[in-house]
Amino acid sequence: MTLETLSATVGVLVTVALALGAVVARALTPLAGAVAAVFGSVIVVLVGYPYLALLILFVVGSVLATRFRIQEKRRKNVQEGTAGERGVSNVVAHIVLPTALAIAAGWMPPLLASTPLAVLYASALAFGAADTFASELGVLAGHARSILTLRPVSPGTNGGVSAVGEAWAFVGAGLTAVVGFALFRLFSAPVPEIGLFLGTVTAAGFLGCQLDSVLGETLENRGYLSKGSTNFLGMLGAVGIAAAILAAFGAIG
């Protein structure tokens, strides 16, 4: 699955250029941009352009959601970073697992087949999109409730959810599924049948987001987890859910 030298070189150059652009646009801090460039280069070299393209679209969607009504978020002190930029801990939390999946698939011999790779990778990013959309757009609803007790909490509180945020979480996961399937088909990457792919990725991304909220309320609020580790475990949960669904349908080996 590893790209040939010329294609790999082009992919790496594109990845580095995009990461640099994100830093210049202040969507990522310089260190976060460097980390994104390194991990993104590994992904494109090992598993190819559709995986890089889906990662790029995830980043673009996250930036747009983060910057949406940023001044209002700053007034409420619920913005990411100081002005919506993503730091290294956030980038690492969202890119380590997709990169690990790419390494498993690019290993010789492969530790993960191409078809389940597409589903698990897309599920990881579906979680990221669901979590980001729920956080960045749901926080603007002006109200939230604890995911466990349903008592009112301040918007932006770990474990706080709203109907608006939950709807956006579903949209984020679903969009990732649809776009991911289209990209994999466009680049002729192996994928399962459309219903299994879309259903698995959407469900895994959305449910992983719920797990993230539960972890946020139970462990992060008590200081046992950082925001980054909560995000990582939520993404790991999403990948685990996707793997369980594929196993139930006999689509993973």
Q: Is the pLDDT of residue 1 over 60?
A: no
* Residue 112 covered by a domain: yes
* Residue 30 covered by a domain: no
b/e 45-58 (16+ beta carbons within 10 angstroms → b): bbbbbbbbbbbbbb
Q: Structurally, how many domains does the chain consist of?
A: 1
b/e 16-37 (16+ beta carbons within 10 angstroms → b): bebbbebbeeebbbeebbbbbb
Domain that holds residue 172: 49-248
Give the pLDDT mean for 142-165. Answer: 91
* Residue 9 covered by a domain: no
Radius of gyration of the chain (CA): 18
b/e 239-249 (16+ beta carbons within 10 angstroms → b): bbbbbebbeee
Give the pLDDT mean for 168-197. Answer: 97
* Residue 7 covered by a domain: no
Residue of 201 and 143 predicted with greater confidence:
201
* Residue 154 covered by a domain: yes
Among 148, 152, 125, 115, CA closest to 250: 115
Per-residue pLDDT reduced to its tens digit, 59-98: 989 888 888 878 887 777 766 656 667 788 889 999 999 9
Per-residue pLDDT reduced to its tens digit, 109-132: 889 999 999 999 999 999 999 999
* Residue 99 covered by a domain: yes
